[in-house]
Chains A and B, each alone.
Chain A
Amino acid sequence: MIRRQAIVLLALVGLLVATYLWLYKIGVLGELRCGTGSCEYVQTSRYAALLGVPVALYGVVGYATLLGLGLAGLQPALALDRRVSVLLAALATVGFGFTLYLTAIELFVLHAMCRWCVASAVIMTATWVLSLADLRRRASHAP
């Protein structure tokens, strides 16, 4: 249960980060608070959108889905349900793969790092690890 709680908490923080980047992308926020990073450079590059949709919006949808799924998995009726663990692990794996792609773009194409993107990458990586641990635990406790 503690793993799913951690996933839910991480998904919530990730959702806030992705929402922040998305609000910037659609012009609601004027400037990104980035310190010495290159957030605006990354966020206004052509890689900040995929198939015409801002990458940050994929993050919003992904984290929101993880959050909803995680919250559902905390309910007593689903707490021991392996299907929730499978779904969480599958979704987190897709998110982790997308994170690897975006980080590679930052490192090897743009040569610039957005701190908020790094934060999201850390959150998604931790979520992925926790979701695999949750799945493994459910597998070992399967009837």
Chain B
Amino acid sequence: MKGFYLLLVGVAVIGGGVLWYGSQRTSASAPSGPVPVAAADGFRGYTVGSDSAPIEITEYSDFECPFCASFATVQMPVIREQLIATGKVRWRYRDFPLPTHAYSRYAALAAQCAGEQGKFWAMHDQLFTNHQWAQTGKNPRGLFRDFARGIGLDLDKYDACMDSQRYAGRIQASVQEGEARGVKGTPSFYVKGRPYQGRSASDDFKALVDSLTKKHK
């Protein structure tokens, strides 16, 4: 029996030591803070919806912003179904990572790198649907890579894209565009180029779009 207790103590000491060591180690270099800004490439954001839709709504959003996540997961599915799928609206997503958020730009980069492989909206949905990452304050690099794997990205290309930060310029250009248009917070919307001041609710968007569509006819 004495040997058994020694074994228990040994397992406890080794296991506890590993946990303690893990908690003392600083995590891998966090992808936070400003990123190098390259020249903007003229990109104007990913869109969903028909090119011939009479109304375009532009959203300035931040992947780490909880209101944006709430909008994306609660309101956006209804908007997609009622306004985008019906050809009434084309939705344009623009990055507006707020400086107060540590990983916003990194998340925006992940979405752009997914977009490079034709999966921007899939990554957009992953980042907003699994939004717990934004509340932990931890380095989300591994998690975003899991998202990339989950939506079927070529991970070598994704890693190369993330490491090179090749779309940092696009993101910065999007921020500058938003600032020039008067964006103060996220999410902010522009309907047919005009600032939208209403509630961020699908019903309100639907009412506005229906109203504009009637005028258009």
**In the assembled complex, which residues on chain A have CB atoms less than 8 Å from the CB atom of B203?**
none
User: Are B23 and A41 touching (Cβ within 8 A)?
Assistant: no
Q: Which residues of A contact B11 (CB under 8 A)?
A: 9, 12-13, 16
Q: Is the CB of B150 within 8 A of A38?
A: yes
* A residues near B19, Cβ cutoff 8 Å: 16, 19-20, 23
CA gap between A8 and B133 in the complex, in Å: 35
The complex places the Cα of A121 from the Cα of B87 at a distance, in Å, of 48
Given A16-B15, A30-B139, decide whether A45 and B27 contact each other with a Cβ distance below 8 A. no
Q: A12-B8, A41-B130, A44-B133 in contact; A23/B146 too (CB < 8 A)?
A: no
Distance of A48 Cα from B149 Cα, bound (Å): 20
Which chain B residues border A46 with CB–CB below 8 Å?
A: 130, 132
Interface size on B, residues (CB 8 A): 31
Whether A44 lies near B136 (C-beta < 8 A) is: yes
Q: Once the chains are docked, how many angstroms separate the CA of A141 from the CA of B74?
A: 59
| Residues of chain A with a CB closer than 8 A to B22's CB | 20, 23, 29
From A5, A31, A44, A74, B27 is in contact (CB under 8 Å) with A31
**9 pairs of residues in contact across A and B, judged by CB atoms under 8 Å:** A9-B7, A12-B15, A20-B22, A27-B136, A31-B139, A32-B142, A38-B149, A45-B130, A46-B130
List residues of chain B with CB under 8 Å of any chain A CB: 1, 4, 7-8, 11-12, 15-16, 18-19, 22-23, 25-28, 130, 132-133, 136-143, 146-147, 149-150
Contacts of A16 in B (CB 8 A): 11-12, 15-16, 18-19
Cα A112 to Cα B7 with chains together (Å): 34
The answer to whether A51 has its CB under 8 Å from any CB of chain B is: no
Rounded to whole angstroms, the CA-CA distance of A27 and B25 in the bound complex is: 12
**Is A40 at the interface (CB under 8 A from chain B)?**
yes
Query: Does A77 touch B at the CB level, under 8 Å?
Result: no
A20, A28, A38, A41 — which one has the most chain B CB atoms within 10 A of its CB?
A41
Q: Cβ of A44 and Cβ of B143 under 8 Å apart?
A: yes
Among all A-B residue pairs, the 5 with the closest Cβ atoms: A30-B27, A16-B15, A40-B143, A41-B146, A44-B132
Given A20-B19, A38-B149, verify A30-B28 contact (CB < 8 Å): yes
Besides the contacts A9-B7, A31-B139, what 12 more A-B pairs have beta carbons closer than 8 Å? Answer: A16-B18, A27-B136, A28-B23, A29-B22, A30-B25, A30-B139, A31-B28, A34-B142, A40-B133, A41-B150, A112-B146, A112-B150
Give chain B residues whose Cβ lies under 8 Å from the Cβ of A8.
8
In the complex, how many angstroms separate the beta carbon of B99 from the nearest chain A beta carbon?
22
Chain B residues positioned under 8 Å from A30 (CB to CB): 25-28, 138-139
Interface positions of A from 7 to 55, Cβ below 8 Å from B: 8-9, 12-13, 16, 19-20, 23, 25, 27-32, 34, 38, 40-41, 44-46, 48
